[in-house]
Copies of this chain bind each other. A is one copy, B any other.
Amino acid sequence: MEDVGDLMTFDNPAFMFYVFSSAALVLKMLILTPLTARQRFKNKVFLSPEDTSLLKGSKVDVHPDVERVRRAHRNDLENVVFFLSMAFCYILTNPTKWVAILVLAAFTVARFLHTFFYLTAKTARMYAFAVGYLVLVYMAGTTVMHFS
Protein backbone atom coordinates (compact mmCIF):
# COMPACT_ATOMS: atom_id res chain seq x y z
CA MET A 1 0.00 0.00 0.00
CA GLU A 2 1.20 3.48 -0.84
CA ASP A 3 1.95 5.88 2.01
CA VAL A 4 -0.83 8.44 1.70
CA GLY A 5 1.00 10.74 4.11
CA ASP A 6 3.38 11.55 1.25
CA LEU A 7 0.39 12.81 -0.77
CA MET A 8 -0.75 15.27 1.93
CA THR A 9 1.96 17.82 1.33
CA PHE A 10 2.19 21.06 -0.64
CA ASP A 11 4.96 19.38 -2.67
CA ASN A 12 2.04 17.50 -4.23
CA PRO A 13 0.48 20.04 -6.64
CA ALA A 14 -2.83 18.15 -6.59
CA PHE A 15 -3.10 18.46 -2.79
CA MET A 16 -2.05 22.10 -2.93
CA PHE A 17 -4.70 22.80 -5.58
CA TYR A 18 -7.24 20.95 -3.44
CA VAL A 19 -6.62 23.24 -0.46
CA PHE A 20 -6.63 26.34 -2.69
CA SER A 21 -9.83 25.49 -4.59
CA SER A 22 -11.62 24.45 -1.38
CA ALA A 23 -10.92 27.84 0.16
CA ALA A 24 -11.92 29.65 -3.05
CA LEU A 25 -15.22 27.74 -3.23
CA VAL A 26 -16.04 28.45 0.42
CA LEU A 27 -15.18 32.15 -0.03
CA LYS A 28 -17.54 32.31 -2.99
CA MET A 29 -20.30 30.65 -1.01
CA LEU A 30 -19.80 32.99 1.94
CA ILE A 31 -20.61 35.92 -0.38
CA LEU A 32 -24.17 34.58 -0.63
CA THR A 33 -24.74 35.31 3.07
CA PRO A 34 -24.62 39.14 2.82
CA LEU A 35 -26.52 38.87 -0.49
CA THR A 36 -29.34 37.06 1.34
CA ALA A 37 -29.31 39.66 4.13
CA ARG A 38 -29.45 42.46 1.55
CA GLN A 39 -32.53 40.90 -0.09
CA ARG A 40 -34.16 40.46 3.34
CA PHE A 41 -33.72 44.14 4.21
CA LYS A 42 -34.67 45.33 0.72
CA ASN A 43 -37.86 43.27 0.70
CA LYS A 44 -38.49 43.60 4.45
CA VAL A 45 -39.05 39.90 5.06
CA PHE A 46 -37.51 37.80 7.84
CA LEU A 47 -37.65 34.22 9.07
CA SER A 48 -37.76 34.85 12.83
CA PRO A 49 -40.41 37.08 14.46
CA GLU A 50 -37.83 38.81 16.70
CA ASP A 51 -35.96 40.05 13.59
CA THR A 52 -38.85 42.26 12.50
CA SER A 53 -37.91 44.65 15.33
CA LEU A 54 -34.77 45.49 13.33
CA LEU A 55 -36.58 47.19 10.48
CA LYS A 56 -39.79 49.19 10.57
CA GLY A 57 -42.47 47.77 8.30
CA SER A 58 -40.85 44.35 7.99
CA LYS A 59 -42.66 41.06 8.62
CA VAL A 60 -42.17 37.28 8.72
CA ASP A 61 -42.73 36.26 5.12
CA VAL A 62 -41.28 34.61 2.04
CA HIS A 63 -40.16 36.66 -0.96
CA PRO A 64 -39.07 35.24 -4.35
CA ASP A 65 -35.88 37.36 -4.48
CA VAL A 66 -34.80 36.14 -1.06
CA GLU A 67 -35.68 32.55 -1.94
CA ARG A 68 -33.60 32.69 -5.12
CA VAL A 69 -30.42 33.60 -3.21
CA ARG A 70 -31.24 30.98 -0.60
CA ARG A 71 -31.71 28.27 -3.23
CA ALA A 72 -28.37 29.20 -4.82
CA HIS A 73 -26.80 29.05 -1.35
CA ARG A 74 -28.40 25.73 -0.47
CA ASN A 75 -27.45 24.12 -3.77
CA ASP A 76 -23.89 25.31 -3.24
CA LEU A 77 -23.87 23.96 0.27
CA GLU A 78 -25.14 20.55 -0.83
CA ASN A 79 -22.46 20.24 -3.48
CA VAL A 80 -19.39 22.09 -2.19
CA VAL A 81 -19.55 20.24 1.13
CA PHE A 82 -19.07 16.89 -0.60
CA PHE A 83 -16.34 18.28 -2.81
CA LEU A 84 -14.37 19.20 0.32
CA SER A 85 -14.47 15.60 1.51
CA MET A 86 -14.47 13.65 -1.76
CA ALA A 87 -11.61 15.61 -3.34
CA PHE A 88 -9.58 14.80 -0.21
CA CYS A 89 -10.37 11.06 -0.49
CA TYR A 90 -9.81 11.12 -4.27
CA ILE A 91 -6.36 12.67 -3.89
CA LEU A 92 -5.43 9.98 -1.37
CA THR A 93 -6.00 7.40 -4.14
CA ASN A 94 -2.93 8.98 -5.82
CA PRO A 95 -4.44 9.96 -9.20
CA THR A 96 -2.28 11.30 -12.06
CA LYS A 97 -1.47 14.87 -11.01
CA TRP A 98 -2.69 16.74 -14.11
CA VAL A 99 -5.91 14.71 -14.26
CA ALA A 100 -6.60 15.50 -10.60
CA ILE A 101 -5.97 19.22 -11.10
CA LEU A 102 -8.18 19.25 -14.20
CA VAL A 103 -11.01 17.53 -12.34
CA LEU A 104 -10.80 19.89 -9.34
CA ALA A 105 -10.58 22.93 -11.62
CA ALA A 106 -13.63 21.78 -13.60
CA PHE A 107 -15.65 21.55 -10.39
CA THR A 108 -14.46 24.94 -9.17
CA VAL A 109 -15.25 26.76 -12.42
CA ALA A 110 -18.59 24.95 -12.73
CA ARG A 111 -19.70 26.05 -9.26
CA PHE A 112 -18.71 29.69 -9.85
CA LEU A 113 -20.77 29.60 -13.07
CA HIS A 114 -23.64 27.87 -11.27
CA THR A 115 -23.95 30.69 -8.75
CA PHE A 116 -23.76 33.32 -11.50
CA PHE A 117 -26.43 31.57 -13.60
CA TYR A 118 -28.70 30.97 -10.61
CA LEU A 119 -28.65 34.59 -9.44
CA THR A 120 -29.36 35.77 -12.99
CA ALA A 121 -32.16 33.16 -13.43
CA LYS A 122 -30.56 31.35 -16.39
CA THR A 123 -31.41 27.68 -16.97
CA ALA A 124 -27.77 27.26 -18.09
CA ARG A 125 -27.15 26.73 -14.38
CA MET A 126 -28.21 23.11 -15.05
CA TYR A 127 -25.17 22.47 -17.23
CA ALA A 128 -22.93 23.99 -14.55
CA PHE A 129 -24.67 21.83 -11.95
CA ALA A 130 -24.22 18.73 -14.13
CA VAL A 131 -20.45 19.27 -14.47
CA GLY A 132 -20.05 19.64 -10.70
CA TYR A 133 -22.29 16.63 -10.10
CA LEU A 134 -20.36 14.41 -12.53
CA VAL A 135 -17.07 15.42 -10.91
CA LEU A 136 -18.46 14.35 -7.51
CA VAL A 137 -19.64 11.01 -8.92
CA TYR A 138 -16.26 10.51 -10.61
CA MET A 139 -14.27 11.27 -7.46
CA ALA A 140 -16.44 9.12 -5.17
CA GLY A 141 -16.53 6.31 -7.75
CA THR A 142 -12.74 6.39 -8.24
CA THR A 143 -12.26 6.21 -4.47
CA VAL A 144 -14.62 3.23 -4.03
CA MET A 145 -12.98 1.43 -7.01
CA HIS A 146 -9.53 2.03 -5.53
CA PHE A 147 -10.28 -0.47 -2.75
CA SER A 148 -12.00 -3.10 -4.92
User: Chain A: residues with CB nearer than 8 A to chain B?
Assistant: 1-6, 8-11, 15-16, 19-20, 22-24, 26-27, 29-30, 33, 47-51, 53-54, 64, 68, 71, 73, 77-78, 81-82, 84-86, 89, 92, 118, 121-123, 133, 136-137, 139-141, 143-144, 147
A122 in contact with B82 (CB, 8 Å): no
Contact A89:B22 (CB < 8 A) given known A51-B123, A54-B123: yes
A28 to chain B, nearest CB (A): 9
Specify how many copies of this chain sit in the oligomer: 3
14 sample A-B contacts, Cβ–Cβ < 8 Å, listed by A number: A1-B16, A4-B15, A5-B6, A5-B8, A16-B147, A19-B147, A20-B144, A22-B86, A22-B89, A30-B82, A30-B137, A47-B71, A49-B64, A84-B85
